[in-house]
Amino acid sequence: MKSNLLENIHSPIDLRQLDEAQLPQLAQELRDFIINIVATKEGHLGASLGVVELTIALHYVFNTPEDLLVWDVGHQAYGHKILTERRAVFHTNRQLGGISGFPKRSESIYDTFGVGHSSTSISAALGMAIASNLKGDFEKQHIAIIGDASIASGMAFEGLNHAGVTDANLLVILNDNAIGIDPSVGALKKYLTSVKQGKNPRQNNMIRSLNFDYSGPIDGNDIYAVIKELKRLQKIKGPKFLHIITTKGKGLQQAEENQVKYHAPGKFDANTGEIIIKSEENLPPKYQDVFGLTLLDLAKKNEKIVGITPAMPSGSSLKFMMEAFPKRAFDVGIAEQHAVTLSAGMATQGLIVYCNIYSTFLQRAYDQVIHDVALQNLPVIFCLDRAGLVGEDGATHHGVFDLAYLRCIPNLIVYAPLNEIELQNILHTAQLGLNHPIAIRYPRGRGVTKNWERLHLGKYETIEIGKAKLLQSGAKVAILSTGAIGNNVTLALSKIQPPENFAHYDFAFVKPLDENELHTIFSQFETIITIEDGVIKGGFGNGILEFAATYRYNSKIQLLGIPDEFIEQGSIDELQQYCGISVESLEIIFSSY
């Protein structure tokens, strides 16, 4: 029986003591380790399985951490974490108090750059390489590992464009598996496919034309071939580009055959690969499906409707419309800036554009929202999925800044539905014709309405823009909530005695605020509590403070929401508890009044 190699490897120093002939065994052990942990703890699976050989080879050939590895996005960095002093704690991955699911500088010296959003690796590694040159160090290696979906993003091309006119000691490794989370799209994907198939003439190589020393494509799951090429490239100065072909989900048959589902499959049987199905019977719908199914229903009735997503057709559920109306629904790849301005261009021609972007990724297109949409007052409908705390993906993915960064933009309507009924109604209202752009933000996960699709889909009410709703009458304290976090307020108030002390208002419109209702509230209540699942600084509660200051109201105002810090990973319940906006936290706060 072979001895276990992985259990004796605590760092790359130990790895480099092995004979090259032992590395295939180590690769199998590393794959098994990742599969066994992720099967029970959940996380991103397919990407890390695909780069096991590359990960081992990088740490075997290069002198990490002195040589610098920059992983793009970081979905694929589990093997890297396990080989760099975190094997013993890897079971805490993505859990509260555990290690992050993404590379993180404060976690390890081997994590040279914090990532979680795509296409940053080339720019970051180039910055490091230039810094090394300026410090007189021309031997240090700087390696960016980027996928074929991420390299199609504009920022990656900006990095390549700059790197090609430098003498930076930079190696870009393209991990080409033809898939990001969903399958890669676009002309670049077709170009890479032709290169892999040998149909593209060598003199037509676009990477060489950018002054990179290009090599490949090679089999990225052949550890000997990868090591041989890395050792050769180690001796070449200047910008280099290695094209490797890998299989996402390598080593687990189901993950290879269904790469979308096994990107982050949830819990599964480590031996068979079969996903452990959670019963969805009698559960409320996912907000993403409310969006996707409602948009499909609206699109059937209104031929002017189009849908756009930057590389999230499954996660946003735009896939429903893409399947039914492939010429009216577009996956533009990891290109948030392009998605927003493309939407603006379509809107100038009278189309009704639903641009679906995760809240955390709209940050990447902030100038386009201001300059290309709001400044021109184009009625683009932004649908911001995963708003608020998203759970285990942690600080890089929480959609907690949108209310603050959108509220300050002129012409923009900002709406946060209390539940899925309100989400479908605002989606309906928006396509009737608004005079302004609108951002509709809704959370990850499930709503509150069972049998929503059967009972409610297609049955719409038009929402009055800028109108707040009284959900519960009360005499002592007014609670003002925005969005789905208002359901926590409702649950907390149901446990409070006497309930008639508290009034609860749903301010779905963060902009424009219902000032008529606010005048009534401030004239009736001496104490006002605001609650949001966004940052307190600059958010909804700040809007209420601004109103009070403008009209010189003296009511006591308490703001509840996300504190002024980056919130780490954990379950949504745990993180809401930490931020003081869970049902239990609110019950304690309300009971003090």
pLDDT, tens only, 124-179: 999 999 999 999 999 999 999 999 889 989 999 999 999 999 999 999 999 988 77
Cis before 284? omega within 30: no
- For residue 186, the model assigns a pLDDT of 78
**Does residue 102 contact residue 394 with C-beta atoms inside 8 Å?**
yes
pLDDT, tens only, 513-540: 999 999 999 999 999 999 999 999 999 9
What are the counts of helices (DSSP H) followed by strands (DSSP E) for the chain?
24, 17
Q: CA-based Rg of the chain, rounded to a whole angstrom?
A: 26
- For residue 271, the model assigns a pLDDT of 83
Find the mean pLDDT for residues 212-225. 93
pLDDT, tens only, 307-360: 999 999 999 999 999 999 999 999 999 999 999 999 999 999 999 999 999 999
- pLDDT band of residue 42 (cuts 50, 70, 90) is confident
Cα separation, 275 vs 50, in Å, equals: 19
Catalytic residue among 42, 53, 229, 336: 336
Q: Which residue has the higher pLDDT, 278 or 580?
A: 580
**Does residue 395 contact residue 568 with C-beta atoms inside 8 Å?**
yes
Find the mean pLDDT for residues 234-249. 93
**Does residue 266 contact residue 291 with C-beta atoms inside 8 Å?**
no
User: Shortest CA distance to 573 belongs to which of 444, 417, 481, 402?
Assistant: 444
Cα separation, 562 vs 403, in Å, equals: 11
* Residue 452: alpha-carbon gap to chain centroid: 26
**Does residue 123 contact residue 146 with C-beta atoms inside 8 Å?**
no
pLDDT, tens only, 457-509: 999 999 999 999 999 999 999 999 999 999 999 999 999 988 889 999 999 99
User: Shortest CA distance to 588 belongs to which of 448, 475, 493, 478?
Assistant: 493
Query: Mean pLDDT in the chain?
Result: 94
Question: Is residue 174 classed as helix, strand or coil in its secondary structure?
Answer: strand
- For residue 124, the model assigns a pLDDT of 97
Find the mean pLDDT for residues 84-112. 94
Catalytic residue among 81, 364, 407, 444: 364
Residue 364 is a catalytic residue: yes
- For residue 205, the model assigns a pLDDT of 84
- For residue 236, the model assigns a pLDDT of 95
- pLDDT band of residue 206 (cuts 50, 70, 90) is confident
Phi, psi of 558 (to 5 degrees): -110, 130
**Does residue 554 contact residue 522 with C-beta atoms inside 8 Å?**
no
**Does residue 178 contact residue 129 with C-beta atoms inside 8 Å?**
no
Q: Which residue bears the tokens 């504190």?
A: 563
Per-residue DSSP letters for 28-79? Answer: HHHHHHHHHHHHHH----HHHHHTHHHHHHHHHHS-TTTSEEEESSSTT-HH
In this predicted structure, the answer to whether residue 1 has a pLDDT above a threshold of 80 is no
- pLDDT band of residue 294 (cuts 50, 70, 90) is very high
User: Residue 534: beta bridge partners?
Assistant: none
Structure tokens at 106: 């404060």
- pLDDT band of residue 180 (cuts 50, 70, 90) is low
User: Shortest CA distance to 57 belongs to which of 12, 9, 88?
Assistant: 12
- For residue 202, the model assigns a pLDDT of 62
Cis before 326? omega within 30: no
Q: Which 8-state DSSP code applies to residue 510? A: E
In this predicted structure, the answer to whether residue 203 has a pLDDT above a threshold of 70 is no
**Does residue 487 contact residue 418 with C-beta atoms inside 8 Å?**
yes
- C-alpha torsion sign, points 362, 366, 370, 373: negative
- For residue 201, the model assigns a pLDDT of 64
pTM of the predicted model over 0.75: yes
Residue type, 111: D
**Residue 233, CA distances (Å) to 69, 156, 164, 469 in order:** 15, 21, 16, 64
Phi, psi of 269 (to 5 degrees): -80, 120
Catalytic residue among 31, 86, 87, 248: 248
Of the chain, the percentage scoring pLDDT greater than 90 comes to: 82
